[in-house]
Structure 1
Amino acid sequence: MLETEDRPSDSPYVARVWHSRNAGAEHMMSVATSIWELVVWKHRGLPHAAVRGPETTASMADVPDDLEAFGISFSAGTSMPHLPVSQLVDRQLDCPHVTAKAFVLRGEEWELPNFENAEDFVARLAREGVIVHDPLVEEVVEGGTATVSMRSVQRRVVTATGLTHSAIRQIERARQAAILLGEDMTPTDVAHRLGYYDQPHLARSLTRFIGRTATQLRRGDAAEPLSLLYKTDA
């Protein structure tokens, strides 16, 4: 299993902060996600850091036996002008020159953040222009309405997230379905509550984005743990 702790953030740039430790897992199911992350981890005593982009399908990932990892999951609408999110979709970009105390991002050296000081680190990134935030994108992704044209909304969503609004909705709906099934809601009720056409539509979505069946999610007995799932207000 993976021992994971996570918390929401009051920063407009951050959706979640988490850290985890391997407690016996060899593999995990990395579920689809519509947001990107900065991840810092140690493997065999050596530090690593990477920017991990949105994931459009579920995939199996190896878990090193001594893994200790920390991550900042950035909010919808947050992006890096020097590194478009569209170039990170289904990709991980390893940061060069990582030491026990620092790493390189945008060609500059930054102190490695941790679970406790993540917001301070992100605030510095924002002040230095490494990241920017488009509140309209966050508003639309969370179900709000925009005062600009639909074409403008679509363009800004793709620019900030690397994904279309439709793709984001599909991913986030599947993630919410997985959470509800894990709380023992029936597939019929989940399909009705989240607007799936029927149970086969729900089943296809779960297979694609979560890598689990509804039965597996309700039992919670799959051999490989899932990557981070959490409730949101959306």
Structure 2
Amino acid sequence: MYREWDLPSPLVRCAWSATVEVNGTWLQPATEFWGLGFSSTADGPTAELLGPAAAPQEMCLRAGDTSWGVEFAAHVFFRGVSKDAATQVMPLPVHESTFELAGFALTLPAPTELSTLVDDLRRRGLLTAEEQVAAALDGRVDRTVSTRTLRRRVHSTVGLNRQQVAVIVRARQAFALLSEGVPVAEVVVRAGYSDQAHLTRSLRTLAGRTPREILLTDR
């Protein structure tokens, strides 16, 4: 069971929680977002830095495990954390009731305490919003910086380039439309793909599933 909810911060895309009901695997789609994830498992608590990734990643799930976390806007970055080598899951050291991030010991939050965690990260100066990157990802042109500088700034902030992000955003839109039962031909037009083959290649690369598989399983 999975759910998302909003947090009162412009730095945050969403908060989320998930409970695993049966053992299995889950193919996590590609994403441009970074976040923090926490779990309660039979082996004890865990903390992870999550995202981004330009391809889907397989995750092993165990019945009874509970996870929760916060996903930040794509233009938000952690000071002291390198995003040059994009990988989707990076375990963080956990010591009883705290976890370590960028040299700080932070309290492991309950799902209801994620807003407090975000406030703590911001207060310590670990979260920074790069507005020029936000503008670039939205397609707004900033004439005050060179193309090369902006390209470097996007990659250092997000961990992916603008083209990769645009491809992921389009695939996410298509995935959502298909999950709502929108016909494939209509999704091709609404999501801006050249044809159905283009849509299929994109979704297989970024979500590990074809349009037909999404229509059959996500409605």
TM-score normalised to the size of structure 2? 0.92
Residue 59 of structure 2 corresponds to: 61
2:49 counterpart of 1:47: no
Q: Is the 8 A contact 2:78 2:127 kept in 1?
A: yes
Q: How does 1:34-183 map to 2 (within 5 A)?
A: 34-87=32-85, 89-99=86-96, 101-148=97-144, 149-183=146-180
The SS at the match of 1:86 is coil
The SS at the match of 1:109 is strand
Percent identity, aligned pairs only, is 27
Q: Is the 8 A contact 1:78 1:133 kept in 2?
A: yes
The SS at the match of 2:3 is strand
The SS at the match of 1:85 is coil
Structure 2 residue corresponding to 1:13, chosen from 11, 14, 17: 11
2:217 counterpart of 1:220: yes
Moved more, 22-31 or 199-208: 22-31
Q: Give the C-alpha shift of residue 45 in structure 1.
A: 5.0
Letter in 2 for 1:157: V
Gaps of 5+ in 2: none
Residue 22 of structure 1 corresponds to: 20
Residue 4 of structure 1 corresponds to: 2
Residue 186 of structure 2 corresponds to: 189
What is the alpha-carbon root mean square deviation over aligned residues? 1.8
- For these two proteins, the number of residue pairs brought into alignment is 218
Moved more, 24-33 or 114-123: 114-123
| Structure 1 segments (4+ residues) deviating >4 Å | none
Q: Give the C-alpha shift of residue 221 in structure 1.
A: 6.2
Letter in 1 for 2:63: D
